[in-house]
Amino acid sequence: MKEIQAGLRGILRLIGAVFVVKAFLIRAFYLKVRHRHDRRLQRQAYSKNIQFYCRLISRTFDLQIVVKGQPVSDSNFLYVGNHMGFVDIFVISSLIPALFITSQEMRETPILGAICEMGGCIFVERRSRIGIMNELESLVEAMKEGFNIVLYPEATSSNGEQVLPFKKTLLMSAPHAGRPIQPGVVNYIEINGEKFSLKTRDHVCWYGDMTFAQAMWKSLTAKSITAEVEFLDPIYAEPHTDRRLVAERAYTAVKSKFRPAAPVNEDVVYGIAEES
């Protein structure tokens, strides 16, 4: 019976998600044409548009977001944090207008590539050191223009058991732009009324051999998802600072606040229920 209910829920949410994505793409295309002669205005419109529609998608997924702390308020910034799947993107984009960094491989992916492009994503070629150094400059330019940038320095999504080591190069775009690095951590507190565990993680994590379709369907069939976002102390660095130290500081901050998926037989209750 539960499987039938989950299937029906998934179908209804899929219909709702398709409607939202279509509306997003139509609006994004209009903004692209309207601001085709001014890239800065176009990006600004894209960042606000993706925030609006990510909030709608969050409602479609019955995604509840709890916020701890607050991001830097006197400057735009480079947000860096852990990444477990596309639900993270809905969470962060719902809270801050920003341009996301993603890979050229994603740009080449049918449908997803178009969505990313219309969302104002900045594409980087991680497979080429020369290319990524050139793209570092584009990130610096975007931050100098006043945009918040979201970077997932793990360079992939994880299975919810740990925070993967941070890649270093793109982190230095913030110091070169004279902007702070804003670390943040996303923790999933409850899924379907149960704690985030190895049993429930597939509703929010996209990892291993899981296809996008499989990951999306698992998220669509989740009865409810509660995510907590904690904004940590900003990091201020100079362009000449050793990038290894900057990456390690950001990684340590995020890792220290991350709550991994619990073993199925663990009785510890995390987050909201524990604190109440």
Percentage with pLDDT > 90 across the chain: 76
Question: pLDDT of 31-84, one tens digit each?
Answer: 999 999 999 999 999 999 999 999 999 998 899 999 999 999 999 999 999 999
Could you tell me the fold of the domain covering 2-275?
Glycerol-3-phosphate (1)-acyltransferase (3.40.1130)
Nearest-Å Rg of the Cα atoms of the chain is: 18
Task: Give the global pTM.
Answer: 0.90
Question: pLDDT of 79-106, one tens digit each?
Answer: 999 999 999 999 999 999 999 998 878 8
The SS3 of residue 208 is coil
The one-letter code for the residue type at 169 is: T
